[in-house]
Chains A and B, each alone.
Chain A
Amino acid sequence: MAVFASSTLFLLLLLVCSVGTAVGGVHFSTLARTLNVTASPKQGQVLMAGVDKIRVFWGLNQTVKAGTDDAYKKVKVKLCFAPVSQENRGWRKTEDDLKKDKTCQFSLTTQPYTKNPNPSSFEYTLERELPTATYFVRVFVLDGSDTEVAYGQNTDAQKTTNLIQVIGITGRHASLDIAAACFSAFSVVSLIFFFVKEKRKGSKN
Chain B
Amino acid sequence: MEQLEMEEHGTIRSSSSSSYHQGGFKMPVDSEHKATQFWLFSIASPHMRSFHLSWFSFFSCFVSTFAAPPLLPIIRDNLNLTSADIANAGIASVSGAVFARLVMGTACDLVGPRLASATLILLTAPAVFCTSLITSPASYLIVRFFTGFSLASFVSTQFWMSSMFSAPKVGVANGISGGWGNLGGGATQLIMPVLYSIIHRAGSTNFTAWRIAFFIPGLVQVLSAIAVLAFGQDMPDGDFSRLKKSGDKPKDNFADVFRHGASNYRGWILALTYGYCFGVELTVDNIIAEYFYDRFDLNLRTAGVIAASFGLANIVSRPGGGWLSDVLAMRFGMRGRLWGLWLVQMIGGLLCVLLGQMDSLTSSVLVMIFFSFFCQAACGLTYGVVPFISRRSLGLVSGMTGGGGNVGAVVSQLLFFRGSKYSKETGISLMGVMILCCTLPIMLIYFPQWGGMLCGPSSKENATEEGYYSSEWSCEEKEKGFHLASLKFAANSMNERGKKGSGSLPTVHVDGLSATV
B207 touches A129 (CB 8 A): yes
Asked, given contacts A131-B78, A184-B125, whether A90 binds B226 with beta carbons under 8 Å apart, the answer is no
Asked, given contacts A14-B302, A14-B365, A191-B123, whether A89 binds B309 with beta carbons under 8 Å apart, the answer is no
Interface residues in A163-205 (C-beta closer than 8 Å to B): 168-173, 176-177, 179-180, 183-184, 186-188, 190-191, 194, 198, 201-202, 205
Asked, given contacts A91-B73, A171-B205, whether A187 binds B215 with beta carbons under 8 Å apart, the answer is no
A171 touches B208 (CB 8 A): yes
A191: nearest chain-B partner, CB-CB: B122
Asked, given contacts A14-B362, A170-B207, A176-B211, whether A132 binds B126 with beta carbons under 8 Å apart, the answer is no
CB distance from A201 to the nearest CB of B (A): 7
Q: Does A3 contact B (CB under 8 A)?
A: yes
A88 touches B205 (CB 8 A): no
Q: Does B229 contact A (CB under 8 A)?
A: yes
Bound Cα distance from A184 to B123, whole angstroms: 9
Partner of B362, one of A11, A90, A129: A11
Bound Cα distance from A188 to B206, whole angstroms: 30
Q: Does A21 contact B (CB under 8 A)?
A: yes
Asked, given contacts A11-B365, A11-B366, A171-B78, whether A176 binds B226 with beta carbons under 8 Å apart, the answer is no
A184 touches B133 (CB 8 A): no
Q: Does A17 contact B (CB under 8 A)?
A: yes
Bound Cα distance from A132 to B242, whole angstroms: 57
Bound Cα distance from A169 to B230, whole angstroms: 42
Asked, given contacts A205-B242, A205-B245, whether A176 binds B207 with beta carbons under 8 Å apart, the answer is no
CB distance from B77 to the nearest CB of A (A): 4
Chain B positions within 8 Å of A201 at CB level: 241-242
CB distance from A19 to the nearest CB of B (A): 11
A179: nearest chain-B partner, CB-CB: B215
Chain A positions within 8 Å of B294 at CB level: 90
Chain A positions within 8 Å of B242 at CB level: 201-202, 205
Interface residues in A1-27 (C-beta closer than 8 Å to B): 3, 7, 10-11, 14-15, 17-18, 21
Q: Does A87 contact B (CB under 8 A)?
A: yes
Bound Cα distance from A19 to B130, whole angstroms: 41
* Mask of A90-122 contacts with B, CB within 8 angstroms, 1/0: 110000000010000000000000000000000
Bound Cα distance from A188 to B226, whole angstroms: 11
A171 touches B125 (CB 8 A): no
Asked, given contacts A190-B122, A190-B226, whether A172 binds B129 with beta carbons under 8 Å apart, the answer is no
Bound Cα distance from A177 to B294, whole angstroms: 36
Q: Does B110 contact A (CB under 8 A)?
A: no
B123 touches A188 (CB 8 A): yes
CB distance from A178 to the nearest CB of B (A): 11
B242: nearest chain-A partner, CB-CB: A205
Chain B positions within 8 Å of A176 at CB level: 132-133, 208, 211-212
CB distance from B100 to the nearest CB of A (A): 16
Bound Cα distance from A190 to B298, whole angstroms: 45
* Mask of A120-155 contacts with B, CB within 8 angstroms, 1/0: 000000001101110000000000000000000000
Chain A positions within 8 Å of B510 at CB level: none
Partner of A198, one of B81, B125, B226, B241: B241
Chain A positions within 8 Å of B207 at CB level: 128-129, 168-171
Q: Does B135 contact A (CB under 8 A)?
A: yes
Number of contacts between A and B (CB, 8 Å)? 128
B230: nearest chain-A partner, CB-CB: A194
Q: Does B369 contact A (CB under 8 A)?
A: yes
Number of interface residues of B (CB under 8 A): 55
B73 touches A7 (CB 8 A): no
B76 touches A91 (CB 8 A): yes
Chain A positions within 8 Å of B502 at CB level: none
Bound Cα distance from A201 to B115, whole angstroms: 14
A17 touches B302 (CB 8 A): yes
Chain A positions within 8 Å of B361 at CB level: 14, 18
CB distance from A67 to the nearest CB of B (A): 37
Bound Cα distance from A132 to B211, whole angstroms: 17
* Mask of B201-228 contacts with A, CB within 8 angstroms, 1/0: 0000111101110010011001001100
Partner of A89, one of B78, B82, B245, B298: B82
Chain B positions within 8 Å of A179 at CB level: 129, 132, 215
Q: Does B119 contact A (CB under 8 A)?
A: yes
Q: Does B297 contact A (CB under 8 A)?
A: yes
Contacts A132-B80, A186-B222, A201-B241 aside, 14 further interface pairs with beta carbons under 8 A come to A3-B373, A11-B366, A18-B361, A90-B294, A176-B208, A180-B133, A183-B126, A183-B219, A183-B222, A191-B123, A194-B118, A194-B230, A198-B115, A205-B245
A-B contact list, 16 entries, CB within 8 Å: A3-B373, A10-B365, A14-B361, A18-B361, A21-B297, A131-B80, A168-B78, A172-B135, A172-B211, A173-B208, A180-B215, A187-B123, A188-B123, A190-B222, A198-B241, A202-B242
A-B residue pairs, 9 tightest by C-beta: A171-B207, A184-B126, A131-B77, A88-B82, A191-B122, A187-B125, A180-B129, A171-B208, A194-B229
